Structure 1
């Protein structure tokens, strides 16, 4: 963390395209083992093993404060504690780093910024913010939807322990512009705060790694340093919270437009 923490009351990236042979190497060969037991033992086992994966990952998420080192809510930090110039997108404040490149994903109909794609060398992370319930988490449901959608598309999805709790690792089949079969590999991180959920989709070299190594350390630090400024307007849980352009960017765009008209 590179800013003070308050005393709280408590260019397009190559989307990890790899060839079909690599896809085959990524396939899991796990097989379920048959268990023979009498009726009573089987009944007990069924009761104990009911939704084991859901229980395991929910327990992992609840096991600690995964946001201790960020991402942060605006009430948890003091952005005036240093002289670093940050990018204020309204609902999120991002801390740039040397060599960072950014692309904004804008809804052409509403002209609102839906997500920010930040590139660091051969890696990238897409940041998006969503409304969330005040007392409960919707991360588990979102993960389940991602896994189901990936499998429906013929891809592979698995859950694993990541730096922010349970992360989703996906291998999604795609077709490149030349018609070749490739796969897109990614890791998805989630961070839950007061009535918000921040999603980070990690791609490129960092998307193919696991844990936090030299390849993924920079995108990890970027995601951790994100500060969320959720407004007080009521929103449906799961709805995207649109970003707004920083004043400096908006002013520059307006000046360029005025120059072009002249």
Structure 2
């Protein structure tokens, strides 16, 4: 089950700059019936990830896949991957990670969720409402992990001209957690280009969430930790 997409080994997980996330194009916004989003969500199963720690065997002797342990998530680097840790300066906790393939990037964060129900619909409603308040546009479509949100927010580009900041949001509900991935860069400009999102799609699919037993209110951020240096 786990490890079916076996990435090539890499020598280092590099730190790089965030890619340019602006574009001069808009996205259409359509009202989507709730029945459609429910159907899209129901059609997605986590059989091929992302996974809960209870669903996989991460014994080092079980395979030769290299992984990086960030506490609440365990990731599988891919060839040429760059990574940034998004750290809260006040608490020094890792709030999210930003991984990239040179043209696109994916910001990953994990939140506490209810154990027997889903709150992804509630989160999506909040994202859409926030986008509207900020003068942007948000469209719900069928994505690779159920309902996907495609957002366009007005920003000022590097040249000082108005532009649109485009993103795609993936939300996956697991036992007691919600994993969020925000896709940026080329994979948002070329949504029909499967090659542009393949590496990040497989990366997100291979994430393993370790929720832990500490109590946390649904919707609260589950911080990560800085990975230990390899000896």
TM band (smaller chain): 0.7 to 0.9
Gaps of 5+ in 1: 5-10, 33-51, 252-262
Report 1 or 2 for greater relative contact order, CA contacts < 8 Å, sequence distance ≥ 6.
Answer: 2
Q: Does 1:204 align with 2:185?
A: yes
Q: Does 1:194 align with 2:175?
A: yes
1:85, distance to aligned residue in structure 2 (A) = 2.1
Contact 1:13-1:122 within 8 A present in 2 as well: no
Q: Does 1:248 align with 2:229?
A: yes
Whole-Å separation in 1 of the counterparts to 2:92 and 2:44:
38
Structure 2 residue aligned with 1:7: none
The superposition leaves residues 109-139 of structure 1 with CA deviations (integer Å, 9 ceiling, x where unpaired) of 0000000000112000001000000111110
1:63, distance to aligned residue in structure 2 (A) = 3.4
Structure 1 residue aligned with 2:128: 147
Structure 2 residue aligned with 1:58: 38
Contact 1:163-1:212 within 8 A present in 2 as well: no
Contact 2:150-2:166 within 8 A present in 1 as well: yes
Q: Does 1:225 align with 2:206?
A: yes
Aligned length: 218
Provide TM-score, normalisation by structure 2.
0.88
Q: Which of 36, 39, 51 is the aligned partner of 1:72?
A: 51
Q: Secondary structure at the match of 1:79?
A: coil
Structure 1 residue aligned with 2:78: 97
Structure 1 residue aligned with 2:21: 16
Q: Secondary structure at the match of 1:198?
A: strand
Structure 1 residue aligned with 2:9: none
Gaps of 5+ in 2: 5-15
Q: Secondary structure at the match of 1:148?
A: helix
The superposition leaves residues 33-66 of structure 1 with CA deviations (integer Å, 9 ceiling, x where unpaired) of xxxxxxxxxxxxxxxxxxx72232123212342x
1:3, distance to aligned residue in structure 2 (A) = 2.6
Contact 1:167-1:190 within 8 A present in 2 as well: yes
Quote the RMSD (CA, aligned, Å). 2.0
Whole-Å separation in 2 of the counterparts to 1:188 and 1:16:
14
